[in-house]
Amino acid sequence: MPPPDDQHHHHHGRDHEHGQAPPSDMALRVKALESLLVEKGLVDPAALDAIIDTYEHKVGPRNGARVVARAWTDPGFRQRLLADATAAILELGCDGGLEGRFLVAVENTPEAHNLVVCTLCSCYPWAVLGLPPVWYKSPPYRSRAVIDPRGVLAEFGVTLPDDVEVRVWDSTAEIRYMVVPERPPGTDGWTEEALAALVTRDSMIGVGLALAPETAA
């Protein structure tokens, strides 16, 4: 595992690999924009801090993991989730907010595997997963997920048998999609909380599977 500074450097190198060096003054340029808006009375810096706190600490894939764990343990909830996920997640206190007024949950089965993408921009179910990772928003994933989903899945370490159908969901409208991964074997009798720890962000995008019980220990 590289130290955090290396990761940071790596990220910038990746974003700008096709062009010139990253603008070293990005922080200053954004500060200029913020100052202009504060000067015009359109923005209160303290309110910005509160928004950042929400997205950094309050939304995230732990919300989605609770939804999946509930669906695994409560057949009635699973049915409600698959029929109307927008209403079902409210039962667990997940509010769609800006991105997620309309949510659809799609379920993996032995016959079908689901994969979520937004080819045109970066639509992502913020209500259950928080903000998307950089790779999800980047051209390589957006371009290939629809034409070569099996190749993309293999790169993430997921190899599916030929008879499993891959269903890709391209988020072209205000409907957001989340995947309900298959419950791992060997988890009979587990509590919802223990099960939720097996549900990764990637498994709810569809590029991963839920963790095996021994991996999570």
Q: Which residues are catalytic?
A: 118, 121-123
User: Can you say whether the dihedral through the CA atoms of 55, 61, 62, 66 is positive or negative?
Assistant: positive
Whichever of 143 and 191 has its CB closer to other proteins, that residue is 143
Residue in 73, 84, 107, 150 binding other proteins, rule: CB under 8 A? 150
Residue in 55, 82, 92, 158 binding other proteins, rule: CB under 8 A? 55
Given the structure tokens 């595997």, which residue do they identify?
113
Residue in 68, 103, 152, 198 binding other proteins, rule: CB under 8 A? 152
Q: Could you tell me the smallest distance in angstroms from the CB atom of residue 153 to other proteins?
A: 10
Site string for other proteins, 109-128 (x = CB under 8 A): --------x-xxxx------
**Do residues 192 and 66 make contact, with C-beta atoms less than 8 angstroms apart?**
yes
**Do residues 119 and 142 make contact, with C-beta atoms less than 8 angstroms apart?**
yes
Q: Could you tell me the smallest distance in angstroms from the CB atom of residue 197 to other proteins?
A: 16
Q: Tokens in use for 158?
A: 């997921």
Residue in 82, 131, 197, 216 binding other proteins, rule: CB under 8 A? 131
Q: Please count the other Cβ atoms lying within 10 Å of the Cβ belonging to residue 91.
A: 13
**51 lies in the site for other proteins, by CB under 8 A:** yes
Q: Could you tell me the smallest distance in angstroms from the CB atom of residue 31 to other proteins?
A: 8
Restricting to residues 172-211, name those near other proteins by CB under 8 A: 172-175
Scanning 55-63, 66-74, 88-96, 185-193 for contacts with other proteins by CB under 8 A, the matching segment is 55-63
**87 lies in the site for other proteins, by CB under 8 A:** no
